Amino acid sequence: MALKRSRVDILGVGVDDFSEEKAVLRMVKLGMDRKNFHYVVTVNAEFVMLARRDPKFARILANADFALADGAGVVLAKLILGGKIHQRVTGVDLVQKLCRAVKDYSITVGFLGGFGDVANVCAKRQKLLHPRLKVAYAGADFATIGCEMKLKPAKVAKMRADILFVAYGMGRQEFWIEKNKKLLNVGVAIGVGGAFDFIAGVKKRAPEFLRKAGMEWFFRLLMEPSRIKRMSVLPIFMTLVLANFAKNLFKKF
């Protein structure tokens, strides 16, 4: 299903420049395309920096049907580098709003990943909110340290879903989708990071005013100080973005 797209190059990673509302509509269309497999990535600054170090990961992002601006840093970078839409499309919001959008249709959804029973809890909460939502699958499966990345054929029948949310965390879920895309019987697989934890109530999400201010990352750092090593790439990311902007600007003169 060919859909018109507009991407902004952020340090070598193309990020689609459209609103959350448009993103949801397009994900629904991909889910309805039962003849083809599609996948979607939700990009933050860590994604971009990993892609700069890992050519294979860069190819996975480049080949995605859509790359959505998840992180506040990516949204800002997109605006600096020529984008027009100042809005994040987070994994958490994407799960919740897609479930609401498809609840009255024949579109089925699946919840794959997380730890323990979090995928089931997440699915049940969405089902309570939207009783007509058609949940085809919910489970953690390989979400353990040192897990097998390759999907066993016996799992395929269980995972039939038009929209499959994959929550194995940044990088890991994208490699998992890449390894299993020929086996997966889904319309669209969407990497949603730690979305299940927030929806299931395992972790507390930042208040809305902080999210709107682009400070959700700060709240998560307060809640999980161990994330500081991962977030150390943010200043480097913004420095590179500004340097790239300046370089492009000087080329015009």
Residue 111, helix vs strand vs coil: strand
- Please name the helix (run of DSSP H) or strand (run of DSSP E) that holds residue 5, with its range, or none: none
Instruction: State yes or no: pLDDT of 97 exceeds 70.
Output: yes
Model confidence at 2, pLDDT cuts 50, 70, 90, reads very low
Specify which residues 166 forms β-bridges with. 112, 191
Q: DSSP letter string over 118-181?
A: HHHHHHHHHHHH-TT-EEEEEE-TT-STT---SPPHHHHGGG-EEEEEEES-TTHHHHHHHHHT
Specify if 180 maps to a domain.
Answer: yes
Q: Which of 51-65, 132-146, 236-250 has the lowest mean pLDDT?
A: 132-146
Stated pTM of the model:
0.88
Who's near 59: CB < 8 A, 6+ residues apart?
none
**pLDDT reported for residue 145:** 41
More confident residue, 211 or 67: 67
Q: Does residue 112 fall inside a structural domain?
A: yes
At residue 238, the pLDDT reads 93
Of the chain, the percentage scoring pLDDT greater than 90 comes to: 57
Q: What is the pLDDT of residues 105-137, one digit of tens each?
A: 999 999 998 888 999 999 999 999 999 999 998
Mean pLDDT of 177-194: 90
pLDDT of residue 5: 61
Q: Give whole-number Cα distances, 220 to 96, 101, 114, 122, in Å.
A: 20, 28, 17, 20
| Residue 17 in domain | yes
In order of 106, 135, 251, the CA distances from 99 in angstroms are 12, 9, 45
Residue 36, classed as helix, strand or coil, is: coil
3-state SS assignment for residue 30: helix
Lowest mean pLDDT: which of 1-10, 79-88, 112-121, 185-194? 1-10
- The two tokens of residue 106 are 């024949």
Q: What is the pLDDT of residue 1?
A: 46
Percent of all residues in the chain with a pLDDT value above 70, rounded to a whole number: 91
Q: Is the pLDDT of residue 250 over 80?
A: no
Q: How many domains does the chain have?
A: 1
Q: Is 101 helix (H, G, I), strand (E, B) or coil?
A: helix
Per-residue pLDDT, 58: 97
Closest among 129, 40, 127 to 91, alpha carbons compared: 40
Query: For residue 52, what are its two tokens?
Result: 């700069």
* Residue 2 forms part of a structural domain: no
**Residue 51 placed within a domain:** yes
Give the span between the Cα atoms of 190 and 111, in whole angstroms.
10
Q: Which amino acid is at 27?
A: M
Whether 16 is covered by a domain: the verdict is: yes
At 127 the pLDDT is: 96
Q: Confidence band (pLDDT; 50, 70, 90) for 4?
A: low
Which DSSP symbol is given to 65? Answer: S
Query: Is residue 1 domain-resident?
Result: no
The 10s digit of each residue's pLDDT in 218-233 is 787 788 787 777 778 8
| Mean pLDDT of the region 177-181 | 88
Residue type for 105, please? Y
**Which phi-psi region, left, alpha or beta, contains residue 117 (left: φ > 0; alpha: ψ -120 to 50)?**
alpha
Domain with 178, as residue range(s), is: 7-251
Cα 74 to chain centroid, rounded: 13
- 46-81 pLDDT per residue, tens: 999 999 999 999 999 999 999 999 989 999 999 999
Mean pLDDT of the chain: 87
